[in-house]
Amino acid sequence: MINTMSDSEYVASLMERARKAQKIAEGFTQEQVLELSQAIGWTTVLNAEAWAKLNYEETGLGNWESKYGTLLNRVKGVLRDHVTAKSVGICERDDAHGLIKIAKPVGVVGAICPLTGAAVTPILKAMNGIMGRNAVVFSAHPHGYKTTSTVVEAMREVLKKYDVPEDLLICSERPTHSASAEIMKQCDLIVATGSSSLVKAAYSSGTPAYGVGTGNVVGVIDETVDILDSAAKIVSSKTNDYAIGCSTENSIVVQTSIYDELMKALIDQKSHLCTPEEKAKIQSILWIPGTTTLNNNVICRSAYEIAQAAGIDLPEDTTVLLVEETGYGPEYPFSGDKLSPVLTVYRYEEFEDAIQLTLHIQEYKGAGHSVYIYSKNEDRIMEFAHRTHTSRVQVNQCQSRSNAGAWNNGIPFSTSMSCGTWGGNITTEPVNWKHYINITWVHRAVDTLKEPTDEYCFGSAMTDPRLNG
């Protein structure tokens, strides 16, 4: 019967099941939803190695060891945030202004999952969805379906063990663009993680949506840094799952006085500085010829594998391929995102040059996502933060391992990094449990609140001759 249904009919059947389950979830307490989120998190810990290996075996992207670490850290990080979350009932009270805020479910969430996070993304979306007393219908990437469906089925088993409706979490058995479009059309809220075209489809579906933007992180390294520490962090970031994450740096902009010393430190970390001829070879295989489209057969592989594919003989333990560049835009493809341990390197003289170069690179690709700076100069750090068009500025941290949450920073743990209006998104926040709830505002009159004076509101405009003739 299912096989004879149209995509619209099939998705409607999923939505009917999800809505029935969600009606029951509306009665859950704060303690219940936290317990379920913790149960899903602990089940992830117990299965993390198997799921990481399955993810790698199915997609061939990155490496399973990094995926294993990501699963462990992200679920624990999300739970760190969930333990203190107020996602059920009264979530805020402001007696001075007569305000009470009540958290309520959004209904059925359409969770669009990417190939690059086929395991971790559905887990975090499930945990956030349940914290808001929602049901979640998942649409897997076609090439990550086995992983995503396996994970969702395991989470459904957790719900059964806790005597709550397993249909709070449903994975569509049709990992197709048309079925995904129907999910986006029929759900109550979309949380879309994936390509820019997928996010645009979510925004044009007619359903409220949170999306992500393209990652093309630029890092600035000034002359005040600890060079050895900076080099170690850069290599650690670029080799993490072979740069599969959107938060991984794609370019670094280095102050010219430390340029040679930093290059030496990176080479000491087993990076390879490419010659112009080697750069051309890598370009010929990293992108589909004549386009700015990345070659899926090359990305998210080790530096050694990429070098081999390009006909470059390098040691097997090579960590990062360094490519020097001066320009930006479509004529300079290395200025864009690369989803690989290939790092583009620029020089700068004055700090203003570094800011302008960062802006230009991200205007080409990556607007609004993230940047970082290695510096001990607080004035420069804040100037960089004020002037770049970005949602996140990471300071003196290992980029890919910290930008989506870390134990030593306060960024919410997430796999969905929104990019504000710069990147075509509605928010600059990493999408977290707060985005899976509706808020009802209850407001009362407060005797101590009075109409302010005209002077307080209009200020000097009241006497400005330019306005008052």
Condensed to tens digits (0 to 9), the pLDDT of residues 123-133 reads 999 999 999 99
Widest pairwise Cα distance in the chain = 78
CA dist 455 to 73, 243, 393, 428, Å? 53, 56, 38, 35
Across 139-152, average pLDDT: 97
Q: Which DSSP string corresponds to 422-467?
A: GGT-S-SSBP-GGGGEEEEEEE---TT--PPPHHHHHGGGGT-HHH
> What confidence score (pLDDT) does residue 200 get?
87
Kindly report, residue by residue over 292-326, the tens digit of the pLDDT: 899 999 999 999 999 999 999 999 999 999 999 99
C-alpha angle 219-222-227 in degrees, rounded to nearest 5 = 90
With beta carbons less than 8 A apart as the criterion, state whether 304 and 326 touch. Answer: no
Q: What percent of the chain has pLDDT over 70?
A: 100
CA dist 152 to 21, 125, 170, 241, 300, Å? 16, 11, 7, 22, 25
Q: Which residue, 118, 80, 150, 87, is CA-closest to 300?
A: 118
CA distance 38 to 192: 23
CA dist 72 to 127, 170, 184, Å? 14, 23, 29
Q: What strand order describes the sheet that includes 89-94?
A: 89-94, 99-105, 437-443
How many residues in the chain?
469
Lowest mean pLDDT, pick from 4-13, 119-128, 274-283, 287-296 = 287-296
Kindly report, residue by residue over 184-234, the tens digit of the pLDDT: 999 999 999 887 788 888 899 999 999 888 899 999 999 999 999 999 999
> What confidence score (pLDDT) does residue 198 get?
84
Question: Which long-range CB contacts under 8 A does 396-399 form with residues at least 24 apart?
Answer: 396/225, 397/233, 397/372, 398/233, 398/236, 398/237, 399/217, 399/219, 399/233, 399/234, 399/237, 399/247, 399/248, 399/249, 399/370, 399/372
Catalytic residue among 246, 274, 300, 398: 246
What is 2-211+431-442's CATH superfamily? Aldehyde Dehydrogenase; Chain A, domain 1 (3.40.605.10)
Kindly report, residue by residue over 78-91, the tens digit of the pLDDT: 999 999 999 999 99
Fold classification of 217-403 is: Aldehyde Dehydrogenase; Chain A, domain 2 (3.40.309)
Q: What are the residue ranges of CATH 3.40.309.10 in the chain?
A: 217-403
**Angle separating helix axes 120-131 and 64-82, nearest 10 degrees:** 10
Q: In this model, does residue 63 exceed pLDDT 60?
A: yes
> What confidence score (pLDDT) does residue 292 get?
86
CA dist 217 to 205, 220, 237, 250, 371, Å? 29, 10, 12, 5, 5
CA distance 243 to 294: 14
Q: What are the residue ranges of CATH 3.40.605.10 in the chain?
A: 2-211+431-442
Task: Give the pLDDT band of residue 398 (cuts 50, 70, 90).
Answer: very high
pTM: 0.93
CA distance 351 to 467: 41
CA distance 32 to 14: 24
List b or e across 115-126, with b for residues whose CB sees 16 or more CB atoms inside 10 angstroms. bbbbbbbbbbbb
**Angle separating helix axes 177-186 and 196-203, nearest 10 degrees:** 40
User: Is residue 246 flagged as an active site residue?
Assistant: yes
> What confidence score (pLDDT) does residue 290 get?
86
Taking residue 352's Cβ as centre, other Cβ atoms within 10 Å add up to 11
> What confidence score (pLDDT) does residue 2 get?
62
Across 235-259, average pLDDT: 96
> What confidence score (pLDDT) does residue 195 get?
79
Q: How big is the chain by its Cα radius of gyration, in Å?
A: 24
> What confidence score (pLDDT) does residue 4 get?
86
> What confidence score (pLDDT) does residue 1 get?
54
Taking residue 364's Cβ as centre, other Cβ atoms within 10 Å add up to 20
Contacts (Cβ under 8 Å, ≥6 apart) of 16: none
| 450, amino acid identity | K
CA distance 317 to 389: 36
Q: In this model, does residue 3 exceed pLDDT 80?
A: no
Contacts (Cβ under 8 Å, ≥6 apart) of 134: 22, 25, 105, 106, 107, 108, 109, 168, 189, 436
Across 425-431, average pLDDT: 93
Q: E strands of 295-362, at which residues?
A: 321-324, 342-348
> What confidence score (pLDDT) does residue 197 get?
83
- Token pair recorded at residue 183: 């999910």
Kindly report, residue by residue over 130-144, the tens digit of the pLDDT: 999 999 999 999 999
Is the C-alpha dihedral spanning 327, 330, 336, 338 positive or negative?
negative
